[in-house]
Amino acid sequence: MTYEIQPLAFDPTSLNGLSAKLIGSHHLNNYGGAVRRLNAIRSELTGLDWSSTPGYRINGIKREELIAANSAFLHELYFQTLGAGDSLKPGGLDAWGRRLTQARRLERCVLARLRFIRAVVQ
């Protein structure tokens, strides 16, 4: 699966304190670089001979894939929260968006348990 660089969901000139040039450069170089790196790693995994490749090599590639996917996903969240208000929906990384939803549910459960524990202890 090839991921695409999602366009900015806002006008970068509308932000106070951050220049449009800075935002555009960060979007193109940092976020775009993470997506391009993720696609290159996925391409490498597709062409890999899994039966003859040593486990440590597969482990290293999969670790790099995770790092690139996290970077791309976090950059999408960053740019979407800068100017998109409530419209937080991950663009090209749908599976990561589902994980974010699961993480938010887990966070609510953990916070509810912490509130319960504090109430019982006090």
Q: Express each pLDDT in 72-90 by its tens digit.
A: 988 888 887 776 544 444 4
Domain count, the chain: 1
Residue 1 counted as domain residue: no
Residue 43 counted as domain residue: yes
Residue 4 counted as domain residue: no
Residue 55 counted as domain residue: yes
Residue 111 counted as domain residue: yes
Contact 12, 24 (CB under 8 A): yes
* Full residue range of the structural domain in which residue 100 is found: 12-121
pTM above 0.85, yes or no: no
Residue 105 counted as domain residue: yes
pLDDT digits (tens, 9 = 90+) for 3-51: 889 888 888 888 777 888 999 999 999 999 999 999 999 999 999 999 9
Residue 65 counted as domain residue: yes
Contact 2, 72 (CB under 8 A): no
Contact 15, 52 (CB under 8 A): no
Show the tokens assigned to 94: 């749908």
